[in-house]
Amino acid sequence: MSKGIVLFGAPGAGKGTLADKIKKILPVVHVSTGDLLRENVRGGTEVGKKAKEFMDQGKLVPDEMVIAMVKERISKDDVKKNGFMLDGFPRTVEQAQALDKVAKIDAVVVIDIKKEDLRKRILGRRSCTKCGKIYNIYNEKLMPKKAGFCDADGTALMQRDDDNEVTFEKRWNTYIGQSDAVINYYSKKPGMVRHVDGTRTMEMSEQELKKVLG
Ligand code: AP5
Ligand code: MG
């Protein structure tokens, strides 16, 4: 049966990186609201123009905009067939409630990590604009083979506009302001919330991951 997975964690916790690993063992569709919003910003759409103001300030984009975007994406055939893995959604109780009305969630994976471990991850992150592959220039295991270019397709890597010290602080505060309420919301359903150690998501074996995902 197709799965509904939610990946939850602070900015830079490793949601996108873990999603890439999970995709290799489960045929779920990866839906990152951050990536969808950035696509809209690049494309100059109305959604992108409105969202950019919030993203640049490290604030949450209004619920109604993000909820509409996710509903549309998860109504598509590929998701109906293969299930979904949401990355960065829901981030508020309102978003979680809206999601419950349209989809069944099997697991909420919370990536636990301390703030002091995140700064280097955020400042060192680079990503491919073509395939989305994520790198880190401060981590030997996560560096591209050729500096500045994607290993997979040779495209130049980019740094996100919100990956700077000032916006990171704001994103962190936004996360702290919402995270407990969302985790408490899902904790009411026994067995739903599964915690993973954010310092070792790269090392987790396929077996460990499958156990976490049930
Ligand atoms: P979004 O794009 O979701 O950003 P975020 O939540 O801040 O998370 P990141 O993408 O920064 O981090 P990640 O957890 O994916 O980490 P990654 O795997 O890349 O959202 C951006 C903005 O859009 C928000 O601020 C908001 O404005 C808006 N938005 C999005 N969703 C919204 C919603 N639902 N509601 C309202 N607004 C919304 O890894 C980070 C770095 O660490 C990489 O360099 C990676 O190589 C490295 N790394 C990963 N794992 C490890 C590891 N285990 N060890 C060492 N390094 C690691
Ligand atoms: Mg991400």
Atom of ligand 1 nearest to the CA of 124: 44
Residue 201 Cβ < 6 Å to ligand 1 = yes
**Residue closest to 86 by CA, chosen among 101, 99, 102:** 99
Q: Is the pTM of this model over 0.85?
A: yes
Helix, strand, or coil (residue 58): coil
- Report CA 51 to chain centroid distance, whole Å: 16
Residues designated catalytic? 15, 91, 125, 160, 171
Cross-sheet strand order for the sheet of 193-197:
29-32, 83-87, 3-9, 107-112, 193-197
**Residue closest to 195 by CA, chosen among 1, 2, 8:** 8
Residue 149 and residue 180: Cα distance in Å, rounded?
38
Task: List pLDDT tens digits, range 66-95.
Answer: 999 999 999 999 999 999 999 999 999 999
Task: List pLDDT tens digits, range 35-60.
Answer: 999 999 999 999 999 999 999 999 99
The token pair at 108 is 């909420």
Task: List pLDDT tens digits, range 115-132.
Answer: 999 999 999 999 998 999
- Per the CB < 8 A criterion, the answer to whether 39 and 53 are in contact is no
User: In Å, how far are 20, 63, 66, 144, 202 from 171, measured between CA atoms?
Assistant: 23, 16, 17, 26, 23
How high is the pLDDT of residue 40?
A: 97
Name the closest ligand to CA 69: 1
User: What burial class does residue 111 get, using C-beta atoms within 10 Å of its C-beta: 0-12 exposed, 13-18 middle, 19+ buried?
Assistant: buried
Task: List pLDDT tens digits, range 138-184.
Answer: 999 999 999 999 999 999 999 999 999 999 999 999 999 999 999 99
**Residue closest to 172 by CA, chosen among 134, 116, 90, 126:** 116
How high is the pLDDT of residue 2?
A: 74
